[in-house]
Structure 1
Amino acid sequence: MFKKSKPKIEPPPTAPSIEEMLADMETFEVNQPSVNGPTDYTDLEHALLTEPENLSLSTWWQVFDEYDQKVKKLIATEETLETHRNQLKECYAKLEKNAGKLREGIKKQQALAKEDPEC
């Protein structure tokens, strides 16, 4: 009644043998990024941490200046956060003060409502 159909996709490839893997490892090369050309800061930082003696003096100073800029930016961010924290504390104090006044007003209104039986 039902006919068995052929598979529509190819079966997955088989895993390589150990001999094939060893042969591939012999031809495998790792190319390290060069530090001399225009590179990303992370490449320079990695080179500074792994091979500082191979860096030229100008490249070392470039990494140092970028790091110095990051430190200055971090200090400015910390100062901004401290300013915002102080502003939030002031706002919180004002809110607490106003909340206290509102609580007192509510208590007075409740006391007046208890005293006046006509309401």
Structure 2
Amino acid sequence: MPVYEIARNGRCGSRVLDLDGATLFVAEGIFAPEVVRGCADRGLLAAAYCIRQHRLVTFWRRLTRDLREHRKPPLVLLRRGWSLMRDQGRVVDHAEQLGALPVTPDEAFRAISRLGGHADAGR
């Protein structure tokens, strides 16, 4: 699986994922769509989802996280976040082209709960 480093703005390596007997795993993040085809080819793909939400929600969550974690200077984070917000449609389209189904967070939760054979009673 790819390893991503935000400070370097990209992929910085890869590592092997050992499921240790688990029947399901979740791949998330910017590189998650890149593993869909390989997982499908190996018979490991139960489903692939791309979480989509309003661009401003994504922008705000990303900005507050990155500011909280001091990932880069604030002005850089604002510019980067604005650029990523404008590019969000292309990112979702790319994930869909690689086999991910665009869904809302609630749709993803329900679908993943069904895959695991149980639903979270508190949701």
The interval holding the TM-score normalised by the smaller chain is under 0.3
Question: Which structure would you say has the larger Rg?
Answer: 1
Q: Which has the higher helix share?
A: 1
Q: Which has the higher strand share?
A: 2
Higher RCO structure, 1 or 2 (CA under 8 Å, sep 6+):
2
